[in-house]
Structure 1
Amino acid sequence: MSISPFDHPFLSGLMGDEEAANCFSAENDIAAMLRFEIALAEAQAAENIIENAAAEAIRDACQNFSADMAALKSMVALDGVVIPELIRQLRDIIPLQHRGSLHLGATSQDVIDTSLMIRLKPVVTRLETGLSDIIADLDKLEKTFGNNGLMGHTRMQAAIAITVGDRIESWRGPLLRHRRRLDILKRDLPVIQFGGAAGTLEKLGDKGPAVRERMAGLLGLHDSPQWHSQRDIIVEFADFLSLISGSLGKIGQDIALLAQGSAELKLSGGGKSSAMPHKQNPVLAELLVALARYNATQISGMHHALVHEQERSGAAWTLEWMILPSMVASTTTALRSASSLLGSIESLGKA
């Protein structure tokens, strides 16, 4: 049983995306958190803040750690975050003389936000690849059907004759711009989070920035001062997700309209009706519209998450956890579905 269609036992067959689900799984989240702790220890050892032996002990513990998930769940209910209990469990398997070196100078938000950024790295790659694939799909359709005729419509009314190439250009243009936007977004994302208790790295003194820079290099992330209460980079990423799914929703809407008994479109594949065997429903086209509208409704929540009080907010932060994973799943599902939909077009327009 699931309350989300993205991982529902059967609805996920339509809406689910296994790669996106894996990015947000508890196992991958914890694995990324452990990578943070290893990088922190190694960076601090390199800066002579902790002993090399302590860094080795922390790395060994993290690499051999098996979480007590029941205890994590129980303590999150009290602490609101997983890190205090995770660190307690880790300390239990580190030699006594090195336990104080674990998590030195870090705070829970550093670990959780950096874990998110580590796990978003393959998502960013997936977005880039997905956009390129769909642009290539559109190029192929234009080459095959671009000179065919279509009836252009304005405000849902027949207007003047256009070509398939004209319609495809209206689909492709935004995707080309999204790919350029992604190139810009990648200059700042994914980025390390490391600021300590209140963002000042007070426990590390003047070595804080050097430790953060080393950690970023070890984790393959951009280096930047802490952004605990500055959530614009997360919201900008969410906005980008909605732009992608919205543009794909436009393609889906157009194809769904073309499928209304028109001789201008022929699709292969499923879409059967239980009551009307003669029908072939444009399921993937409709899905693209639904995913676009879903992400558009989530954007408001993500913009609410910009409002962090003082140096950290529990409420705004929690709101991100509730919204962002489903937006990622919506967008990656939309990319995959759009490619399948375009590949199912057997004829488009009139020669």
Structure 2
Amino acid sequence: MSVFSLLHHLAGTNAQDEIFSSDTAIESWLAAERALAIAQGELGVISPEDADAIVTAASIDNIDQERLWVSAKNVGYPILGLVREISRNLPEGPDGRVHYGATTQDIMDSGLALQMARSIEVLDEELGRLGDRLAEQVKLYDTSIMAARTHAQQAVPTTFGATLATLLAQFTRHRERLAQAYPRVAVISMFGAGGTSAAYGEKSREVRARVAELLDLELTNIPWHVDRDTLAEFGWLCTTITAACARLARNIVDLSRTEIGEVFEPYNPHRGASSTMPQKVNPISSELIIGLSGTAGSLASSLARIQEAGHERAAGEWQIEWQVIPQLAQLASSAVREAFVIIDGMRVDEQRMLDNLELDGGLAMAEAQMIQLAEHMGREHAHDLLYAASTTARERKVVLAKALFDVAKQQNLEAHLPDTLVTAADYLGEAVAIAADSVQAWRATPALGRTLASISDLALDSNATVSESR
């Protein structure tokens, strides 16, 4: 029985669960074994008839999974048991050609590369859906004025679209990173026990190239049994995508506070309800994302450890990634899915945003007024004047404009005050352009654009793949 995870259960299952399921892991190993047999049959390393027989036998329907996992627990790895399950369905002769020249990690790493390739494709699709909806919201709120906040305090005016635009830019970069990482992650591994491919024989490179082609994986002629930087890259990508979603979640938690009340998660009856306080509408998707991100961050600390494996085979570091890599992929997809829920249905109170700019006597306009006065009296003098005015506004609980007039009068500086002070709408800088630029950059970023075959179908075109081609 698997351990129950309340966080994962509430965040929802997704395609990553299937990709990293027990059945798919077995399917990925079988696909690698089939491809190896086909390549060796085509190149004369084994007979075409033996290759065809192996392809037919290497089906998940022929695998006694209970017996496979009993064997795996005893051996420490599942491939010896898998080879014997395949061989059990073969007559004498072909049974001695299964897994010919390969080592356990060749099969498991090639299978994992297939899983990670499909995981990246799923993440790209989910991120694309989120980014498309976020781009719509950026455009919708590009002129919706609100307070920018630095150090959790009101700073200067901005627009809600501009604040969302920076998040969209992050997701744009993440989508680019997924595309860049794909060819580094989806790589064949067929190098034998010590990485020299000696057991594969003289045609080792041709076999490896054909296996890569059959599995639609990138070719390399350099072994990576202990080079786990690409797995660490995949894991970190999952982690940082989750963290970007958490940035959205943190802002939603803050902006939906009773005292702020500017942006809220979607509403439906009893969503985020309390068991005792009838008034509560808690930001539950944001809370889930923050939990997902915190978990991912903790798991990510192991990504450096998996790269410590020495010599030509890991001694414990490999096992770390068995636990961590699937979980990070699941956490990332769950976070992206919850972020879409927020973005798709978020409720925005534009009037409250404007009202909040007047809190604290409208001190969010201090920089704007300083810059306005700087033209006549220099920046430093204007800064000192607005600093004194801001202090007065707080102490007397009056609006900044009145405090500025009073302080200027005390200092005989009334002549430097303009007839009309700058407004929030006048002091948005590039906010609207930032929103537009972020949308344009997102739309210019292509999807990964790969249609991946089912792992169970790879290297399984027919029951007579090799012999019919000769």
Indicate the residue corresponding to 1:196 in structure 2: 192
- After TM superposition, which residue ranges in structure 1, 4 or more long, deviate above 3 angstroms? 348-351
**How has the CA–CA distance of structure 1 residues 172 and 124 changed in structure 2, closer, same or farther, with 3 Å as cutoff?**
same
TM-fit CA distance, 1:200: 0.9
Indicate the residue corresponding to 1:278 in structure 2: 279
TM-fit CA distance, 1:152: 1.6
User: Matched residues, percent identical?
Assistant: 28
> What per-residue deviation string (whole Å, max 9, x for no partner) do you get for residues 220-275 of structure 1?
11111321010011001111111111111101111111111233124323111111
**How has the CA–CA distance of structure 1 residues 112 and 16 changed in structure 2, closer, same or farther, with 3 Å as cutoff?**
farther
Indicate the residue corresponding to 1:264 in structure 2: 262
Moved more, 96-105 or 290-299: 290-299
TM-fit CA distance, 1:203: 1.5
Distance in 2, matches of 1:266 and 1:169, equals 18
Q: Which amino acid aligns with 1:318?
A: Q
Moved more, 253-262 or 47-56: 253-262
Identify which of 170, 174, 189 aligns with 1:174.
Answer: 170
Indicate the residue corresponding to 1:294 in structure 2: 295
Distance in 2, matches of 1:103 and 1:13, equals 38
> What per-residue deviation string (whole Å, max 9, x for no partner) do you get for residues 160-190 of structure 1?
2211022112211111111111221123221
TM-score by length of 1: 0.94
Distance in 1, matches of 2:305 and 2:112, equals 19
Moved more, 81-90 or 261-270: 261-270
SS in 1 for 2:157: strand
Indicate the residue corresponding to 1:205 in structure 2: 201
Distance in 2, matches of 1:210 and 1:220, equals 15
TM-score by length of 2: 0.71
Distance in 2, matches of 1:101 and 1:291, equals 45
Indicate the residue corresponding to 1:345 in structure 2: 346
SS in 2 for 1:28: helix
> What per-residue deviation string (whole Å, max 9, x for no partner) do you get for residues 126-147 of structure 1?
1111222222111111222221
- Contact 1:152-1:162 within 8 A present in 2 as well: yes
Identify which of 248, 255, 269 aligns with 2:245.
Answer: 248
**How has the CA–CA distance of structure 1 residues 2 and 277 changed in structure 2, closer, same or farther, with 3 Å as cutoff?**
farther
Distance in 1, matches of 2:140 and 2:102, equals 57
- Contact 2:15-2:122 within 8 A present in 1 as well: no
SS in 2 for 1:305: helix
Indicate the residue corresponding to 1:334 in structure 2: 335
**How has the CA–CA distance of structure 1 residues 49 and 193 changed in structure 2, closer, same or farther, with 3 Å as cutoff?**
same
Bigger CA radius of gyration: 2
> What per-residue deviation string (whole Å, max 9, x for no partner) do you get for residues 191-233 of structure 1?
1111111111102233111111100110111111321010011
Distance in 1, matches of 2:192 and 2:122, equals 31
Higher relative contact order (CA 8 A, sep 6+): 2
Distance in 1, matches of 2:324 and 2:125, equals 23
- Contact 2:16-2:122 within 8 A present in 1 as well: no
SS in 1 for 2:58: helix
**How has the CA–CA distance of structure 1 residues 160 and 343 changed in structure 2, closer, same or farther, with 3 Å as cutoff?**
same
Moved more, 68-77 or 299-308: 68-77
Equivalenced residues, count: 347
Superposition pairs of residues 116-265 of structure 1, within 5 angstroms: 116-225=112-221, 226-261=223-258, 262-265=260-263
Distance in 1, matches of 2:194 and 2:4, equals 35
Indicate the residue corresponding to 1:51 in structure 2: 47
Indicate the residue corresponding to 1:315 in structure 2: 316
Moved more, 225-234 or 199-208: 199-208
TM-fit CA distance, 1:68: 2.0
Measured on the aligned residues, the alpha-carbon RMSD in Å equals 1.6
TM-fit CA distance, 1:92: 1.3
Distance in 2, matches of 1:62 and 1:349, equals 61
